[in-house]
Structure 1
């Protein structure tokens, strides 16, 4: 029977309060900067925390409604009044994909993510959490990453023409190492593999111990509209299950393609 490991006494007595203090530090820093907000890079400079730590703390703060993302930007802002829906939840692609994501979460038991392209980056719009007791919450609404980082993002990148793929990889090359040591060469290999399979498989880059499967929905002109991915702990993702999950995602995307 799978279960979440019990925390050690050191984790309870030290890591928990330390994480809380850091979260409050991030929240207070955002409050000090008001509606202009701050990017992850600016938050790291202001707090002295590492960017991966900032991302983890922001995920919890966004989920709690204490922090929101500013639409069409890389900045986050503290919600000073009653929590309201983040701007990303207003995107019509969420309404389009949400029923399919719910079905996928229940069918697989794992976390399901909705990702779209925004220039050279991917933008996470929504996530649905499945019933399996161990979840990999690799991203959250409003989080941006270089296009190709993460399974949904890779599905989007691989659907683009070769010249566009190369331009994006070159543009993002200086940031890739921040994501599990990803390189431009590895990114190109993942693009090739995704095209051969017809779906992406990305593991141990943005989040250690995680593996995701993603597929993109294309419009009539072959341009990516959105991508849906399912992410789980690596042990739950043998090759056969990867294929099965890809089939489930494709079936749901086919249903979305039929909607006006």
Structure 2
């Protein structure tokens, strides 16, 4: 087995373990997912355990992600300390409005939830939790991130995600693209209704760097019935103010 193949299988093993959550994955499940011999799966598993990327689950014979991944994750994507600086912003917004607020960043063809702070009211969201990913094009954070990207980059992302957006979310890329000029003009996005979470809406604003490119997005999620015109305007005003300060520091 080549070094590249071993590396690919190790990454796949980590993803399979991550998908099992607190229950963890057994050696047989990992072997089946990797399509390799039990000896190969065991060898990869033990190497990852020695590095701290995998540890034993409470249930004997099962494995969960190790704490070393948490330590690396705390640093990943935070070279500009954006997550660190945005934490107090999320706290202020959640305390004022009672809604759940998110910090999201573009990551290739996806949007990654870098941080979130739950409000007083339960809410469903696309990303689900910190570290959750959604296809670029889904949700209001995607809209603002796409709106401030160059046309070529934006078109490539939407073309790549077109099938997933249409089949899984009921979103056509033409509809998403047509909404972006309005997002640029208003300075915020309210999201497009899709078949996954039709009862929820939100609002997102871009965090722009000195070069005008998006560093990330501040977003909130709430039940559609609670999003009055007055609430939307107040949210947009406060979130734009916070985003401008984040982009300047």
TM-score (norm 1): 0.66
Shift of 1:96: 1.5
Q: Which residue of 2 aligns with 1:227?
A: 217
Q: Which residue of 1 aligns with 2:234?
A: 244
> Cα–Cα, structure 1 residues 83 and 249, in superposed 2: closer, same or farther, change >3 Å?
same
Structure 2 Cα separation of the partners of residues 95 and 83 of structure 1: 20
Shift of 1:105: 0.8
Instruction: State whether structure 2 residue 65 is matched by structure 1 residue 79.
Output: yes
Give structure 1 stretches of 5+ with no counterpart: 1-24, 37-41, 43-65, 68-76
Shift of 1:213: 0.4
Q: Which residue of 2 aligns with 1:115?
A: 104
Q: Give the conservation status (yes or no) of the 8 Å contact 1:199–1:246.
A: yes
User: How many pairs were matched up?
Assistant: 196
Equivalent positions of 1:1-260 (< 5 A) are 26-27=20-21, 31-32=25-26, 78-79=64-65, 85=70, 87-90=72-75, 91=78, 92-131=81-120, 133-139=121-127, 140-205=129-194, 206-259=196-249
Q: Secondary structure at the match of 1:201?
A: coil
Q: Which moved more, 1:201-210 or 1:82-91?
A: 82-91
> Cα–Cα, structure 1 residues 87 and 191, in superposed 2: closer, same or farther, change >3 Å?
farther
Larger Rg: 2
> Cα–Cα, structure 1 residues 145 and 178, in superposed 2: closer, same or farther, change >3 Å?
farther
Q: Give the conservation status (yes or no) of the 8 Å contact 2:24–2:64.
A: yes
Q: Secondary structure at the match of 1:168?
A: helix
Q: Secondary structure at the match of 1:177?
A: helix
What whole-Å deviation, never above 9, does each CA across 1:64-92 have from its counterpart, x for those lacking one?
xx99xxxxxxxxx9336x79847544333
TM-score (norm 2): 0.69
Q: Give the conservation status (yes or no) of the 8 Å contact 1:203–1:209.
A: no
Q: CA RMSD in A?
A: 3.0
Structure 1 Cα separation of the partners of residues 83 and 107 of structure 2: 15
Structure 1 Cα separation of the partners of residues 101 and 213 of structure 2: 22
Q: Give the conservation status (yes or no) of the 8 Å contact 1:203–1:210.
A: no
Q: Give the conservation status (yes or no) of the 8 Å contact 1:148–1:155.
A: no
Q: Give the conservation status (yes or no) of the 8 Å contact 1:201–1:214.
A: yes
> Cα–Cα, structure 1 residues 177 and 29, in superposed 2: closer, same or farther, change >3 Å?
farther
Q: Secondary structure at the match of 1:78?
A: strand
Structure 2 Cα separation of the partners of residues 106 and 28 of structure 1: 30
Q: Secondary structure at the match of 1:134?
A: coil
Give structure 2 stretches of 5+ with no counterpart: 1-18, 34-55, 58-62
Structure 2 Cα separation of the partners of residues 242 and 33 of structure 1: 50
Q: Which residue of 2 aligns with 1:19?
A: none
